[in-house]
Structures are given as structure tokens and as C-alpha cells.
Homo-oligomer: A and B are copies of this chain.
């Protein structure tokens, strides 16, 4: 491939000028020279080498993202929103999939450090990820989930605890007397908050019975757990599910068992993926502010102040058919 030197020679100028032209600075170039450079570059099909540029300029203008499963629509939507936000700020987003593996997550963090990304957006598979070595490298991190305050990273989340309480309260309001919680697989900060909010709503409601199960964050495993649960003697009348992805598995299990949602069992999900609206039946859910999370995450990384930021963004409960309403709420 042609280099800046090739272009400079053909245009009868120096590599410095070629750089000035392609970066619109930091020095001015006369229109005639600029014209010659651009012509030569076009003739040679010149593409500046981004690696050399980054090495020399000391910045890569790129942001890394690590998610546990890019095939999960929620993370897909998050990725898409981050790509939009990053592009709007002139950054390239690099997406990596840790495949639910802590080891792979660590490798990808390393890889991002080695590539000198300007910042990292992380959805960790771990409840308490080791981020010290990233901080030592001087690369800011923002997690899109609750994080211990002593971690060397920022976090942006919604208030899981209150959202869980609100959603559970909504089910109580429908008059359901037995309510289940299908939580995530591990004892993480997130799952504790789901449980805390759920429990608070239950305790406040005399006569309401609670039960809890766990499953992996996948349709398949949620379906497996729900098939047993819903076929058992202590089938709950309503279930609050910690992720949409698991809720889809519950809807599937109910249908397989010939149970009607919401008449036999009501379901509420969490995340507010675009798909939740088109579930059968459409899924009531807690809507995460995905575009806002993405925009703010990129902002935080670009600002990269010394202090870490821990912000809570507003969520929204969206009632649809699956919880018992027979008309979608406005919006």
C-alpha cells in the first residue's frame, strides 16, 4: 500500500505537508499544494495507516466494549447504542464477547490495554472483577452495572433495587397472591438488588407468598427451570424475571405447558429490549435507558476525570399484556 512518503514524492512535497492535509492541521497548506497532495493521494489510493498515526500521535480514538454475550439482544442493543454514541464523538467502537468467561474477559481487557484504547465500557461476567491492572495502565473504565465503590472504575446503572420493587408491586396490585422471582444465576450485586427490591414489595403485602428460582441468563435455561416450576404444585400466579432474555424462556415454557399468559401465569421481564414488545404475548418489563446509558458512558470515558463517577439513570416500568393489562400503556 502507498505510504505518505509515496504521496509526498508524487506531489513534490514533504510527508509533513501530506500529514497537514489529511489532518486539516496543525499547519496551514496553500490551496495549490493541498490540491497536488489530494490528487497524488487519490491516484495512489492512499490510506493513512491508523496504527502509525496512533503510535505517533499517542491516541487511538477508540473505545472498547466487552459484553458477556453479544447474541443476547439486550447486549446487542447496548452495543448498537454505544456504536452510535462513539461514532458521534469521533471514536471507533471495538466490541468483544467474553462468552460468559471470566478468563476471556481478562484477556480481552489485556488486549484492549495493548491496543491502547482510550477507554473501556464493561459489562462484566464477574460480580467483583479485577480491574486494578487496567486502572494502572491509565485506561478509564465504566461498568454498566452496579460496582463496588472501592473499584477503580466508574459505573452507570439504573436503580435495580427500586425497579424490582416497583415491578413486583405492580404484580401485587393486580391481586396476585403468589409471586415468584426468577433471578440470575449467581449471587451478584445485580441479583442481590433484584432480590432486595422484590422482597421489600412482598413483605409490604400481607398474605402474598413469595418463592424464588435461579437460571442462567438464557432463554434455554430459563425455559428449563420454568418448565419444572410451572408444572409443579407450587406454581406461582405471577413471576418477576430478572432479564427479558429469561422472561422469553418463561413465556415459552408456559405455552409448552398449555398455560395462558397472563390468565394462568403473569410475567414481568427486565431490560426493555426492543424484542419485549413483540413477544407472545407482549412482555411487561422494566425499560433500561439504553441510549442514555450509551451516550453518558462515552462522555464519561472521554472526559476521563480523575474521580470516578457512579450515576443512577432513570428507568421506566412498561406494562404490556404479559402482566395482565390488556392494552399497552402509552409510550
Stretch of A49-57, A172-180, A311-319 with 4 or more beta carbons under 8 angstroms from chain B: A49-57
Say how far A103's CB is from chain B's closest CB, in angstroms. 12
Q: Which of B45, B84, B93, B97 contacts A137 (CB 8 A)?
A: B45
Question: Is A291 interfacial (CB-CB < 8 Å)?
Answer: no
User: Given A70-B76, A76-B72, do A83 and B96 touch, yes or no (CB 8 Å)?
Assistant: yes
Question: Is A255 interfacial (CB-CB < 8 Å)?
Answer: yes
A47–B137 touching, CB < 8 Å: yes
Give the complex CA separation of A97 and B138 in angstroms: 28
Question: Is A115 interfacial (CB-CB < 8 Å)?
Answer: yes
Q: Which of B49, B133, B278 contacts A116 (CB 8 A)?
A: B49
Q: Which of B50, B71, B111, B138 contacts A114 (CB 8 A)?
A: B50
| A54 surroundings in chain B (CB, below 8 A) | 51
A94–B97 touching, CB < 8 Å: no
Say how far A152's CB is from chain B's closest CB, in angstroms. 13
| A277 surroundings in chain B (CB, below 8 A) | 219-220
Question: Is A48 interfacial (CB-CB < 8 Å)?
Answer: yes
Say how far A142's CB is from chain B's closest CB, in angstroms. 19
A278–B248 touching, CB < 8 Å: yes
Question: Is A140 interfacial (CB-CB < 8 Å)?
Answer: no
**CB-based nearest B residue for A76:** B71
A278–B223 touching, CB < 8 Å: yes
| A116 surroundings in chain B (CB, below 8 A) | 49-51
| A275 surroundings in chain B (CB, below 8 A) | 219, 248
Question: Scoring A residues 16 to 56 as 1 if CB is less than 8 Å from chain B, else 0, what string do you get?
Answer: 00000000000000000000000000000101111110110
Question: Is A110 interfacial (CB-CB < 8 Å)?
Answer: yes
B83–A97 touching, CB < 8 Å: yes
Give the complex CA separation of A275 and B282 in angstroms: 16
| A282 surroundings in chain B (CB, below 8 A) | 252
Question: Is A184 interfacial (CB-CB < 8 Å)?
Answer: no
Say how far A274's CB is from chain B's closest CB, in angstroms. 7
6 A-B pairs with least C-beta separation: A71-B76, A50-B114, A95-B95, A280-B280, A219-B278, A252-B278
Instruction: Show 22 A/B contacts (Cβ-Cβ < 8 Å), sorted by A.
Output: A1-B137, A45-B136, A47-B110, A47-B114, A49-B114, A70-B76, A70-B79, A70-B95, A71-B73, A71-B77, A83-B96, A87-B104, A92-B96, A93-B96, A219-B277, A219-B278, A249-B278, A252-B278, A252-B279, A252-B282, A255-B281, A279-B280
